[in-house]
């Protein structure tokens, strides 16, 4: 019996220990990134964020082009993806719960979610980029093809499954009796969506947009492959650029000097902090929404 | 089974209802006269809720829900009307109070208009709100807090708000689906009093699993068992001399 | 109250017809917009199939890559590499993730649980490239060179939140009566968990692991500076190793048509593997029956 008591104690200890280890991972990750960024922070301070030049040869590192690239591609992708994600969420949660159309949309979204990022990038590079190049030629703009725009389009396709899943979850948290009440007053499908479902899920939808933004900010491979990898600040979305993630992917293995590496890691640190914050806020809103939705 | 001779307001002819292949209602026939309170009682699973959900055509919205037979309102086949009109004429109150959480008390009362995008002058909307809340015996309690959220009220008040919301559409029939099942005894008796008062304005079809409640408030009672309408007639008669053996067993608490 | 006026506006046939029309129209528009998501899917899959199928042959899955200019060659090293890296990542991360999930379901309200949940959510949202940097600092720098192992560490960290969450969700749904029944027979706590609770939830846990595996087997970014890639056959986890996503990236961004062809083939193979594991997870869930749902 003593042996059993011992193993029981040991088991509980292991459980708790694992919990502590898992809790430590992001903390350790943060500390690691901070420590590794110290040389860059020391060298540039806050100027790192505002400087336009990124020149490894002269050892000048400014992150502005990448910050701009990340923000512009992510927001553009969000805007492009929004109507689709929103419609998909409406279709799957409210409009056509059954039927072939809903089933097709549902599997399409699931399959899109399963395609690896690198394949999106490859497809974008060989199919989308030439298409954009043709359009640019026709419009008389420099035909880069690889561009902020290409990256945004690929990103948009990639975040649709994620955003629509969250929006759908949020909408399905709305107590069904509220919808029933609306129908019992003679509301049509559309009116019930417009005036009950959507207003009730505003905060949840906002959280979904935030979480999708978090996804888009950190997405690396697909963006790297179609954005053109230029360290100059772009002046319009048809020009090539770079995002924080894509410049890390591109230059990390080539970074020879400590300052170069440290600057790249500082980009990673910024990315980590921003995505962690966005995710935290998004999850918090959804949790509140969950509580509000379930217990009247 | 007594069929009334007077021209009925609502008439169900061979109504059957299904969930996918499962038959929930079996050829139900009955009619309801104007300005009556009719209770529908029976053990759970007997199809009483499905019955009233057929009346305002909510049943067909549930996954796999279909119905056969016809329902006439003022001699008009409900299947020939659009659901907007059907539900305007036939209001519904649910088991649990369900005011719209994003709307104020005021907005909740005129929710039918807001939802349906029907524009009404401010003066009229004020009238509708006061009139409906008064009919629902809630006006005095909430007249000073019309701009508070509907969910701020107590459960019993919320349920009366839901009744006001249904009355605001000026319905001919009000369906109550076990309206007191989520309420405490005090709130329950207020709703029951209200139901009796309301029959001046609107005909009421109330589902209940509470035999005493049916006895207290209704003029006529329908007893349902396993999807069939077993007995239908004056409440007084049914509770004193039930015609069917199953009704008697139910009333004496043998099952359900 | 002007009930006549009220009746008129409530029964305005024209308004009702308009509302029905608006409803139908919005339904059509929403269905149309959402069905457009099928377009990129079909396009991507069609390109993969058309271009990929002609590159896949026996040599492709048995040979090593050939230098530029030489026709033929395969990606056997990347296939083996992917399998090794993913397997190693599973070995590294599944035990802590499952134990973490058990902890959360057993002590749902403890302070540590709140912290673990918080960390797990942060981890889940962390960009994979950042996790790559972490693994690089943690493993590559001390070892002094790139290695498959460091890649597995990166992928393993990404896997933890997925498996942990699946475990917690599954175990939470197991009725407490079950463990009470076992405990009432005098079975010690750890045996109740390991012999009763976990086996009951096995279906959900395995499903989570398989879905996690599909996620990481397509990951590229964290491998760029950990596993790094290699043109040779390498089965040693301590050395740089190729993987399918890395090969796709390297070949896709090369200027050679010959390599693009290989990249299409590798992409098709990767997607078949990802969808295949996914299917396996579904079959597993539906076959096992009973259990927790």
Interchain proximity A157–C103, CB inside 8 Å: no
Confidence label for A7 from pLDDT (cuts 50, 70 and 90): confident
Q: Which of B81, B112, B124 to mutate to test the interface with C (most CBs of C within 10 A)?
A: B124
CA angle B1, B6, B9 (to 5 degrees): 90
Say whether residue B98 is in contact with chain A using an 8 A CB cutoff. Answer: yes
* Closest by Cβ to A88, choosing from C34, C121, C138: C34
Cα of C15 to nearest chain B Cα, Å: 8
Interchain proximity C99–A191, CB inside 8 Å: no
Cα of B248 to nearest chain A Cα, Å: 34
Cα of C14 to nearest chain A Cα, Å: 15
Contacts of B116 (CB under 8 A, 6+ apart): A185, A186, A187, A188, A191, B84, C19
Nearest CA in chain A to C35: A105
For residue B111, the chain A residues in CB contact (below 8 A) are 181-182, 185
The per-residue pLDDT for A294 is 43
Q: How many Cβ pairs within 8 Å bridge chains B and C? A: 30
Q: Which of A102, A175, A181 to mutate to test the interface with B (most CBs of B within 10 A)?
A: A181
* Closest by Cβ to A91, choosing from C34, C119, C271: C34
CATH of the domain at B229: 3.40.50.300
Tell me if A119 sits within 8 A of C44, measured CB to CB.
yes
Q: Does residue C251 form part of some domain?
A: yes
Nearest CA in chain A to B159: A181
* Closest by Cβ to B101, choosing from A180, A187, A200: A200
The per-residue pLDDT for A296 is 37
For residue range C187-198, list pLDDT tens digits in order.
Answer: 888 888 888 899
* Closest by Cβ to A195, choosing from B58, B87, B115: B115
**Domains of chain C: total:** 1
The per-residue pLDDT for A11 is 92
Contacts of C180 (CB under 8 A, 6+ apart): none
Tell me if B232 sits within 8 A of B220, measured CB to CB.
yes
Q: Does residue C244 form part of some domain?
A: yes
Nearest CA in chain B to A191: B115
Domain of A95, in residue numbers: 66-294
A58-62, A100-104, A216-220: segment of lowest average pLDDT: A100-104
**Percent of chain C residues past pLDDT 90, beyond the cut:** 73
A32-41, A67-76, B40-49: segment of lowest average pLDDT: B40-49
What mean pLDDT do residues C156-182 have? 93
The per-residue pLDDT for A272 is 97
For residue B85, the chain C residues in CB contact (below 8 A) are 11, 16
Q: Which residue has the higher pLDDT, B173 or C6?
A: B173
The per-residue pLDDT for A101 is 83
What mean pLDDT do residues B188-213 have? 93
**Domains of chain A: total:** 1
Q: What is the DSSP code string of chain B?
A: -PPP-SPPSEEEEEEEEEETTEEEEEEEEEEE-TT-EEEEE-STTSSHHHHHHHHTT-GGGSTTEEEEEEEEETTEEGGGS-HHHHHHHEEEE-SS----TTSBHHHHHTHHHHHHT----HHHHHHHHHHHHHHTT-HHHHTT-TTSBGGGS-HHHHHHHHHHHHHTT--SEEEEESTTTTS-HHHHHHHHHHHHHHTTT-EEEEEES-HHHHHHH-SEEEEEETTEEEEEEEHHHHHHS-SSHHHHHHHTTS--
**Domains of chain B: total:** 1
Chains that touch B (3 or more CB pairs under 8 A): A, C
Q: What is d(CA C91, CA A18) in angstroms, rounded to the nearest whole number?
A: 15
Confidence label for A173 from pLDDT (cuts 50, 70 and 90): confident
Residues pairing with A165 in the sheet: none
Cα of B50 to nearest chain C Cα, Å: 25
Chains that touch C (3 or more CB pairs under 8 A): A, B
Angle between helical axes of A258-294 and A148-172 (0-180°, round to 10): 30
Interchain proximity B85–C15, CB inside 8 Å: no
Taking 90 as the threshold, does the pLDDT of residue B25 lie above it? yes
Confidence label for B53 from pLDDT (cuts 50, 70 and 90): very high
The per-residue pLDDT for B5 is 52
The per-residue pLDDT for A257 is 93
The per-residue pLDDT for B111 is 94
The per-residue pLDDT for C188 is 85
Say whether residue B82 is in contact with chain A using an 8 A CB cutoff. Answer: no
Interchain proximity B170–C15, CB inside 8 Å: no
* Closest by Cβ to A178, choosing from B84, B92, B100: B100
Describe the strand order of the beta sheet including B228-234 as a list of residue ranges.
B90-93, B173-177, B203-208, B37-41, B220-225, B228-234
Q: From start to end of chain A, where are the E strands? A: 54-55, 60-61
Q: Taking the alpha carbons of B150, B156, B159, B160 in that order, is the dihedral positive or negative?
A: negative
The CA-atom distances, in angstroms, between A244 and each of A119, A267, A272, C5, C78 are: 20, 6, 11, 63, 28
The CA-atom distances, in angstroms, between B52 and each of A108, A185, A247, B208, B226 are: 39, 15, 64, 11, 15
Q: What is d(CA C171, CA C175) in angstroms, rounded to the nearest whole number?
A: 9
Interchain proximity C220–A115, CB inside 8 Å: no
The per-residue pLDDT for B190 is 94
* Closest by Cβ to B94, choosing from A180, A186, A200: A180
Nearest CA in chain A to C164: A22
The per-residue pLDDT for C68 is 78
Q: Does residue B55 form part of some domain?
A: yes
Q: Does residue B214 form part of some domain?
A: yes
Say whether residue C39 is in contact with chain A using an 8 A CB cutoff. Answer: no
Query: What is the residue-averaged pLDDT of chain B?
Result: 91
What mean pLDDT do residues A186-195 have? 92
Say whether residue B62 is in contact with chain A using an 8 A CB cutoff. Answer: no
Confidence label for B255 from pLDDT (cuts 50, 70 and 90): low
Pairing verdict, β B173-177 and B90-93? parallel
Q: Does residue B256 form part of some domain?
A: no
Interchain proximity C31–A268, CB inside 8 Å: no
Interchain proximity C23–A189, CB inside 8 Å: yes
Q: Does residue A242 form part of some domain?
A: yes
Interface of B with C (CB under 8 A): 82, 84-85, 88, 116-118, 120, 124, 127-128, 131, 169-170
What mean pLDDT do residues B45-66 have? 91
Interchain proximity B128–C5, CB inside 8 Å: no
Interchain proximity A200–B102, CB inside 8 Å: yes
Interchain proximity B102–A296, CB inside 8 Å: no
Interchain proximity B112–A181, CB inside 8 Å: no
For residue range A261-270, list pLDDT tens digits in order.
Answer: 999 999 999 9
Cα of C112 to nearest chain A Cα, Å: 7
Interchain proximity C7–B170, CB inside 8 Å: yes
Nearest CA in chain C to A245: C129
**Percent of chain A residues past pLDDT 70, beyond the cut:** 97
Say whether residue C9 is in contact with chain B using an 8 A CB cutoff. Answer: yes
For residue C46, the chain A residues in CB contact (below 8 A) are none
Nearest CA in chain A to B109: A185
Interchain proximity B96–A177, CB inside 8 Å: yes
Helices (H), A173-257: 176-184, 189-192, 198-218, 221-226, 244-251
The tokens of A272 are what? 């980590």
Taking 60 as the threshold, does the pLDDT of residue C292 lie above it? no
Q: Which residue has the higher pLDDT, C287 or B53?
A: B53
Taking 50 as the threshold, does the pLDDT of residue B26 lie above it? yes
Nearest CA in chain B to C7: B170
Cα of A139 to nearest chain C Cα, Å: 24
Tell me if B157 sits within 8 A of B142, measured CB to CB.
yes
Query: What is the residue-averaged pLDDT of chain A?
Result: 92
Chains that touch A (3 or more CB pairs under 8 A): B, C
Q: Does residue A15 form part of some domain?
A: no
Taking 80 as the threshold, does the pLDDT of residue A292 lie above it? no
CA angle C32, C33, C36 (to 5 degrees): 90
Q: What is d(CA C112, CA B111) in angstroms, rounded to the nearest whole number?
A: 46
Burial (0-12, 13-18, 19+ Cβ within 10 Å), C118: middle
For residue range C193-241, list pLDDT tens digits in order.
Answer: 888 899 999 999 999 999 999 999 999 999 999 999 998 999 999 999 9
Contacts of A147 (CB under 8 A, 6+ apart): A132, A226, A227, A228, A237, A238, A239, A240, A241
Taking 70 as the threshold, does the pLDDT of residue A175 lie above it? yes
Q: Which of A8, A25, A182 to mutate to test the interface with C (most CBs of C within 10 A)?
A: A25
Domain of C223, in residue numbers: 76-288
Q: Does residue B70 form part of some domain?
A: yes
CA–chain centroid gap for A257, Å, is 30
Confidence label for C290 from pLDDT (cuts 50, 70 and 90): very low
Domain of B76, in residue numbers: 10-251
Taking 70 as the threshold, does the pLDDT of residue A97 lie above it? no
The per-residue pLDDT for A78 is 97
The tokens of A100 are what? 């072939």
Contacts of A208 (CB under 8 A, 6+ apart): A85, A163, A166, A167, A170, A282, A286
* Closest by Cβ to C19, choosing from B84, B120, B131: B84
Helices (H), A45-63: 47-50
Interchain proximity B170–C20, CB inside 8 Å: no
Interchain proximity A184–B114, CB inside 8 Å: no
Q: Which of C2, C3, C6 to mutate to test the interface with B (most CBs of B within 10 A)?
A: C6
Query: What is the residue-averaged pLDDT of chain C?
Result: 91
Q: Does residue A81 form part of some domain?
A: yes
* Closest by Cβ to A118, choosing from C113, C248, C278: C248
């Amino acid at each position: 019996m003593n042996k059993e008591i011992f193993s029981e104690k040991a088991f509980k200890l292991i459980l708790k220990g694992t919990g502590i280890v898992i809790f430590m991972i992001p903390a350790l990750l943060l500390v690691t990134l901070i420590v590794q960024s110290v040389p860059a922070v020391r060298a540039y301070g806050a100027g790192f964020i505002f400087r336009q030049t990124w020149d490894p040869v002269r050892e000048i590192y400014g992150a502005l082009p990448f910050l701009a690239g990340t923000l512009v591609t992510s927001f553009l992708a969000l805007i492009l993806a929004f109507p689709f994600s929103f419609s998909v969420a409406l279709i799957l949660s409210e409009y056509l719960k059954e039927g072939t159309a809903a089933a097709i949309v549902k599997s399409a979204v699931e399959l899109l979610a399963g395609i690896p990022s690198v394949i999106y990038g490859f497809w974008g590079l060989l199919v989308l980029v030439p298409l954009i190049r043709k359009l640019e030629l026709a419009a008389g703009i420099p035909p880069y093809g690889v561009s902020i725009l290409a990256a945004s389009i690929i990103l948009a396709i990639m975040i649709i499954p994620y955003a629509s899943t969250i929006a759908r979850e949020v909408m399905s948290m709305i107590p069904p009796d509220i919808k029933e009440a609306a129908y019992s007053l003679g509301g049509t499908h559309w009116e019930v969506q417009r005036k009950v479902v959507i207003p009730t899920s505003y905060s949840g939808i906002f959280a979904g947009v935030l979480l999708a933004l978090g996804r888009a900010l950190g997405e690396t491979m697909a963006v790297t492959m179609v954005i053109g990898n230029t360290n100059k600040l772009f002046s319009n979305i048809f020009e090539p650029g770079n995002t924080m993630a894509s410049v890390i992917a591109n230059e990390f293995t080539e970074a020879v000097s400590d300052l170069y590496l440290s600057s790249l890691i500082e980009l990673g640190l910024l990315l980590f902090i921003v995505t962690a914050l966005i995710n935290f806020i998004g999850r918090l809103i959804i949790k509140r929404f969950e509580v509000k939705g379930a217990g009247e | 089974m007594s069929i009334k001779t007077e021209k009925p307001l609502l008439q169900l002819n061979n109504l059957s209802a299904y969930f996918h292949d499962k038959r929930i209602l079996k050829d139900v026939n009955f009619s309801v006269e104007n300005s009556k309170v009719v209770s529908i009682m029976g053990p759970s699973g007997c199809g009483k809720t499905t019955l009233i959900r057929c009346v305002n055509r909510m049943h067909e919205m549930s996954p796999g829900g279909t119905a056969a037979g016809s329902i006439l309102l003022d001699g008009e086949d409900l299947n020939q009307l659009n659901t907007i009109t059907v539900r305007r004429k036939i209001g519904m109150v649910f088991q649990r109070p369900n005011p719209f959480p994003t709307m104020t008390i005021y907005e909740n009362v005129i929710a039918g208009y807001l939802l349906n995008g029907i524009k009404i002058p401010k003066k009229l909307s004020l009238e509708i709100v006061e009139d409906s809340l008064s009919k629902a015996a809630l006006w005095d309690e909430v007249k000073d807090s019309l701009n508070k959220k509907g969910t701020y009220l107590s459960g019993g008040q919320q349920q009366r708000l839901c009744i006001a919301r249904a009355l605001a559409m000026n319905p001919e029939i009000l369906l109550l689906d076990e309206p007191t099942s989520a309420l405490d005894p005090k709130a329950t008796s207020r709703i029951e009093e209200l139901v009796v008062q309301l029959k001046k304005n609107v005909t009421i079809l109330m589902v209940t699993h509470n035999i005493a409640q049916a006895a207290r408030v209704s003029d006529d009672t329908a007893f349902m068992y396993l999807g069939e309408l077993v007995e239908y007639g004056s409440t007084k008669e049914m509770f004193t001399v039930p015609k069917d053996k199953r009704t008697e067993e139910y009333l004496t608490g043998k099952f359900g | 109250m002007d009930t006549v006026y009220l009746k008129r506006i409530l029964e305005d046939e024209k308004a009702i017809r308009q509302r029905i029309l608006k409803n139908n129209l919005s339904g059509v528009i929403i269905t149309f917009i959402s069905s457009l998501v099928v377009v990129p899917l079909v396009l991507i899959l069609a390109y993969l199939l058309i271009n990929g199928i002609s590159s896949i042959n026996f040599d492709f899955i048995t040979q090593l890559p050939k230098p530029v200019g030489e026709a033929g060659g395969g990606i056997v090293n990347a296939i083996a590499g992917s399998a090794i890296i993913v397997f190693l990542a599973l070995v590294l991360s599944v035990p802590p993730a499952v134990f973490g999930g058990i902890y959360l379901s057993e002590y749902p309200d403890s302070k540590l649980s709140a912290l673990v949940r918080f960390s797990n959510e942060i981890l889940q949202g962390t960009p994979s490239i950042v996790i790559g940097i972490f693994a690089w600092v943690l493993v590559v720098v001390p070892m002094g060179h790139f290695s498959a192992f460091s890649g597995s560490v990166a992928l393993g960290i990404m896997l933890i939140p997925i498996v942990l969450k699946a475990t917690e969700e599954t175990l939470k749904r197991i009725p407490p009566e079950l463990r009470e029944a076992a405990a009432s027979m005098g079975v010690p706590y750890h045996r109740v968990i390991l012999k009763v609770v976990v086996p009951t939830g096995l279906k959900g846990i395995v499903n989570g692991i398989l879905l996690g595996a599909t996620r990481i087997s397509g990951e590229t970014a964290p491998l760029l500076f950990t596993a790094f890639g290699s043109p040779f056959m390498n089965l040693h986890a301590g050395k740089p190793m190729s993987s399918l996503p890395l090969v796709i990236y390297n070949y896709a961004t090369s200027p050679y048509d010959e390599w693009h062809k290989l990249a299409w083939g590798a992409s098709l193979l990767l997607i078949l593997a990802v969808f295949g594991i996914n299917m396996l997870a579904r079959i597993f869930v539906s076959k096992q029956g009973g259990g927790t749902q």
